[in-house]
């Protein structure tokens, strides 16, 4: 039921390892899982907090945990019958355009933040890898909304990009929720903007398009008002012939519509994609 668990099972099947029957399974949010194998051994797989809650010593694994976390990997401890026996490390595969997309967002004046359930060390390693400027680590699924609200109080407008079930409430809370189209249905329904592709280039394009649209709106309002400001005094003084007024109104409408159509020419492609061409 969790992406990390699915990844572990896939790798075990790939290595043709024997999978035991699991009983009395319990998923502990923000900690890990507890279960029994064949009704005999009690197995715990999770983070440091899960081990500490169950008074399991993992000191001999600490240096290896730190090494893996510094490599931007999510490392979980495996314990059997109250004794830590190993580590399983996993890492998300970076999307091809992630680093360049983050760099362009920063260049556009946006502060990027990673909101992760991983610990601070892993979060910072991921942030360094992709160029994200701020890390909010060890955030449990039910704490994401509170973190978004705190960011809104701190910086103002917040846009969130997410694709998981746990992201849906936070996507709704954000000023702009951007859902990845390859994610879960509930996240897609919660998003204000849905990106068809699963890459971050769509985020850059969406922001550029929204800025270009807002500039067009302001320009069109200017032209609409300027015609009225100029012509209304003439009309009040009886100096504007009805035909002239009609022509001015038609010119105003044509100007606004033409200017709006120029939005099609807006350059919204990420700079790194333009350079590639």
Nearest Cα to 97, choosing from 240, 270, 265?
A: 270
| Calpha distance 138→117 (Å, rounded) | 4
Question: In sequence order, what E strands does 143-267 have?
Answer: 159-162, 176-180, 193-195
- Bridge partners (DSSP) of residue 26 are 34
Quick count: other Cβ atoms within 10 Å of Cβ 84? Answer: 17
Structure tokens at 241: 């012939």
* Predicted confidence (pLDDT) per residue in 210-263, tens digit: 999 999 999 888 888 887 788 778 777 777 777 877 887 788 888 888 888 888
**Average per-residue pLDDT for the chain:** 86
C-alpha distances (whole Å) from 84 to each of 37, 121, 185, 214 are 16, 21, 37, 57
Residue 277 above 60 pLDDT? no
User: What does the pLDDT read at residue 39?
Assistant: 66
Reduce the DSSP state of residue 75 to 3 states and report it.
strand
Out of 65-69, 121-125, 161-165, which region has the weakest mean confidence (pLDDT)? 161-165
Q: Per CATH, is 98-203 categorized as 3.40.50.1000?
A: yes
Give the pLDDT mean for 177-187.
82
C-alpha distances (whole Å) from 203 to each of 20, 52, 97, 115, 190 are 43, 40, 11, 17, 16
Q: Domain ranges in the chain?
A: 3-90, 98-203, 210-276
Give the Cα-Cα-Cα angle 156, 172, 203 (nearest 5 degrees).
70
Answer yes or no: are the C-beta atoms of 180 and 154 closer than 8 Å. no
CATH of domain 3-90: 3.40.1110.10
| Calpha distance 168→191 (Å, rounded) | 8
Structure tokens at 20: 């035991």
C-alpha distances (whole Å) from 50 to each of 4, 24, 45 are 16, 17, 8
The residues, ordered by sequence, that sit 6+ positions from 4 with a Cβ below 8 Å of its Cβ are 74, 76, 90
* Predicted confidence (pLDDT) per residue in 17-54, tens digit: 888 887 788 888 888 889 888 767 899 999 999 999 99
User: What does the pLDDT read at residue 1?
Assistant: 58
* Predicted confidence (pLDDT) per residue in 98-137, tens digit: 899 999 999 999 999 999 888 898 889 989 989 999 999 9
Binned at pLDDT 50, 70 and 90, residue 273 comes out as confident
């Amino acid at each position: 039921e969790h992406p990390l668990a699915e990844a572990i099972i896939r790798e075990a099947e790939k290595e043709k390892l024997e999978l035991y029957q699991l009983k009395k399974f319990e998923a502990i949010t923000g900690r890990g899982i507890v279960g029994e194998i064949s009704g005999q051994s009690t197995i715990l797989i999770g983070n440091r907090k899960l081990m500490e809650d169950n008074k399991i010593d993992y000191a001999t694994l600490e240096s290896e945990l730190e090494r893996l976390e510094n490599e931007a990997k999510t490392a979980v401890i495996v314990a059997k019958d109250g004794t830590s026996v190993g580590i399983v490390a996993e890492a998300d595969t970076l999307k091809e355009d992630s680093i360049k997309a983050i760099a362009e967002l920063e260049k556009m004046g946006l502060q990027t933040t990673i909101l992760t359930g991983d610990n601070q060390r892993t979060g910072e390693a991921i942030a360094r890898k992709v160029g994200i400027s701020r890390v909010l680590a060890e955030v449990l699924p039910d704490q994401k909304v509170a973190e978004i609200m705190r960011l809104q109080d701190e910086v103002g407008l917040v846009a969130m990009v997410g694709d998981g079930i746990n992201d849906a409430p936070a996507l709704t809370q954000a000023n702009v929720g951007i859902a990845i189209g390859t994610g879960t249905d509930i996240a897609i329904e919660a998003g204000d903007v849905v990106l068809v592709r699963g890459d971050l280039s769509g985020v850059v394009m969406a922001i550029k398009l929204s800025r270009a649209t807002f500039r067009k709106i302001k320009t069109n309002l200017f032209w609409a008002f300027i015609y009225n400001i100029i012509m209304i005094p003439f009309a009040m003084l009886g100096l504007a012939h009805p035909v002239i007024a009609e022509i001015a109104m038609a010119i105003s409408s044509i100007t606004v519509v033409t200017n709006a159509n120029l939005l099609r020419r807006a350059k919204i492609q990420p700079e790194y994609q333009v350079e590639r061409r």
